[in-house]
Structure formats: C-alpha cells, structure tokens
Amino acid sequence: MKELDIYAIDAVLPQTQCEQCGFKGCLEYAKAIASGEANINRCPAGGEVGIEQLSQITGFPIIPLDETRGEHVPFEIAVIDAKRCIGCKLCVRACPTEAIVGCGKHLHQVDEDRCTGCCLCMIACPMDCIEMKRVGRDWTKEDADHARKNYKIRNIRRAKRQEKAEQRLQERSSQIDKKAFLLSLMKKAKSE
C-alpha cells in the first residue's frame, strides 16, 4: 500500500471542523484516513463530491456516505435568536473558527464570514436559541481555505491563553511556596 499524503487529504476536506466524522477536526480525520483507521465516507459536510475527491487522492474505492455520521446538507450558517440568548458563552467555546462574538451575560452574534455551519454552537447552546440558515450557495475551496486559516488562528490563540494561565498558576504556586517557607522560618525563629 502506498503512503498517503495527510496534507493532500486534508486539502480536499471541507474544513468545517464539525467533528461528525468522529475525529477532532478535519486534519485529524485526514490522519485517520492516511493511516487506514477511517474510511473516506465519514464526512457529511463533504458529501458525495468529497468522497470522490478522497477516492482520487487515496485510490480507495468510492463508497456511499456513512449516514450514521449525518447527512449532507447545503451550506448553512448559525443564527442566534437575540431574545433567547443569555450570553452563557458556551457557543463561543464550541466554535472552531471564532465565528461567534460577544461577552458573558450579553447577546452573542455570528460573524457570517467565519461561520462554517458546523452546528457545534447549536449543540452547545442550553437555550436552543441557535438555528442554522441555508446560505443559498455551495461551500467552496476558498471557503475551506479561509476556515482552515481561522481554525489555526483560533488554536494558536487558545494555546497562548492556556500557556499564560499555566504560567500564572506556576507563579502563584511559587508565591504560595515562598509564603509557606517564610511562615515556617518565622515559626522556627519564635520557637528558638
């Protein structure tokens, strides 16, 4: 069996990052296809066209879409009902491309230019105030490239935030250790 190019496989995936394939994003699904862990028919967002493209790249036979993963639907974007949004930020955390903007306890909005139609925000919303609206056009390669870029930027931002949070915890831990050490010295000095 020939070695498959993960990035060539990833390049034809729609980059919605919807996780319907069972993997954490399109690149992880591409890795699973390349390693033989997953079939080429697990991407509802890519549909039959995606399966055909994956077949051409991998040499695997064309097989029908695995509908246990979902069904292919036309390109959609999220719309938030302002009257029901409580600003819980669960949709913001779920969004793979930072398409939802807003702050805690305030109305959130969708940046249509960044939304991939993944539905992860809708699933995360406890108020059921997010619906998907058909766009009236097909998802394009340019859309996928734009989504991949936004996904990477979001991941870099999250990694930096996580690093800063860990650094603050480490600094605080050091301060607590220093404080405990000084207290023990003071107790020792008092007992002598």
pLDDT at residue 140 in the model = 96
What's the pLDDT score for residue 2? 65
Is the distance from CB of 80 to CB of 107 less than 8 angstroms?
Answer: yes
User: What pLDDT, on a 0 to 100 scale, did the predictor assign at position 71?
Assistant: 95
CA distances (Å), 155 to each of 26, 98, 145, 159, 173, in order? 13, 10, 15, 6, 27
CA-nearest of 49, 66, 65 to 57 is: 49
On the CB side of 151, how many CA atoms lie within 13 Å of its CA? 20
Half-sphere exposure (Cβ direction) of 136: Cα atoms closer than 13 Å: 0
CA–CA separation, 49 vs 144, rounded Å? 14
Q: pTM of this prediction?
A: 0.84
pLDDT at 190: 73
Question: Within 10 Å of residue 190's Cβ, how many Cβ atoms?
Answer: 7
Domains of the chain, each with CATH number or no CATH: 6-69 (1.10.15.40), 76-134 (3.30.70.20)
- Judge whether 75 and 45 are in contact, CB under 8 Å: no
Per-residue model confidence as pLDDT tens for the chain (192 residues): 568 999 999 999 999 999 999 999 999 999 999 999 999 999 999 999 999 999 999 999 999 999 999 999 999 999 999 999 999 999 999 999 999 998 888 889 999 999 999 999 999 999 999 999 999 999 999 999 999 999 999 999 999 999 998 888 788 777 777 777 777 777 777 776
Q: Indicate the length of the chain as a whole number.
A: 192
Cα dist. 38→8, 28, 145 in Å?
16, 10, 23
